[in-house]
Amino acid sequence: MADIPDYEPASLRDGDTWRWTRNLADYPAGTWTLKYRFKHATLATGFEIVATNVATVHTVNVAAATTAGYTAGAYTWVAWVEGGSVEVYTIGQGSMTVLPDYRNSTVTDALDDRTHARKMLTAIEAWLESRDPGVAEYEIAGRRMKYIPTAELVKLHSRYTTMLAAETNAAKVAQGLGGGRKIQFRI
């Protein structure tokens, strides 16, 4: 059985059971109700989660059947507690990525879950490899096409390479593999 974190995870997969706890000393479960609202970054979709009480600890437990209905993507969230009928306090906010459920399709269905940086880097590299660097613009039947200058594409390539390296390091750290950077010091 997986460890249940005592914080809001940075990413979860739709179609999985979601669990985490929060021990809020100033707002103990039983006296206070912990709620979350998630909003999608670009789509008009979202969802709300209400934690249950286990002694004085707030416990989030969302069934796999419920999370299967969530749309994969980037979400921002806000958490608040409600006490009685009058008091409401925001206790946190953050972001979470809902990962796609690979089990929702057949094994042979395509799924492009690359990050924005990976997609942009691939597109820039394909463009640089496919075009004639000697042609900056052309005109056919009164319609003009002007390409992005190669120097600008090289700058974008460098930018997205850096972003991708940061994502890769973050993923390694999340998996407990370290970020690949060494800290050296002298005694």
Q: Are residues 21 and 73 in the same domain?
A: yes
CB distance 60 to 50 below 8 Å: no
The residue-averaged pLDDT of 153-162 equals 90
Q: Are residues 72 and 129 in the same domain?
A: no
- Range(s) of the domain holding residue 94: 11-102
Crossing angle between the packed helical segments 150-174 and 116-130, to the nearest 10 degrees: 150
pLDDT of 149 reads 82
Q: Are residues 27 and 88 in the same domain?
A: yes
Which ranges of the chain does DSSP label H, i.e. alpha helix? 64-67, 116-130, 150-174
- Higher pLDDT among residues 181 and 168, named by residue: 168
Q: Are residues 123 and 53 in the same domain?
A: no
pLDDT of 81 reads 96
pLDDT of 108 reads 64
- Which residues contact residue 47 at a Cβ distance below 8 angstroms, ignoring those fewer than 6 apart? 37, 38, 70
| Nearest residue to 104 via CA among 61, 135, 65, 138 | 65
Mean pLDDT computed over every residue of the chain: 86
